[in-house]
Amino acid sequence: MAMYPFEKYYAPEWETIKTLDALNEILSDNKTIWLVYIFQDHMESLYPEIMSSINQDFTVAKKFPGTLNGGSVYVCVNDKSQRLNTYF
């Protein structure tokens, strides 16, 4: 949902994840991965496998409430060993 503005304007250097295989490939690098998504209900209905992986492998570091219903911005990190409160 939020891919276009990030790809074109805000963060063109960020990699866009469109498949579970792409997410698994990034996770295989064993690096700290930051992930941003919005519209959780939409993501869960259209990308259930990706959201399942996100829920299993990532921790929400910060949730920014959105102005649209369900439009909160989630910033997640896969490194659960780090203290998340040091990020925000």
Write the pLDDT tens digit of every residue in 56-88. 999 999 999 988 887 899 999 997 555 455 555
Residue 85 DSSP label: G
More confident residue, 21 or 38: 21
pLDDT at position 86, please? 56
More confident residue, 81 or 16: 16
- Continuous H helices in 1-88: 3-5, 20-27, 40-46, 48-57
pTM of this prediction? 0.80
Question: 10 by DSSP, 3-state: which?
Answer: helix
**From the centroid of its chain, how far is CA 36?**
3
CA distance 66 to 2: 13
pLDDT at position 60, please? 94
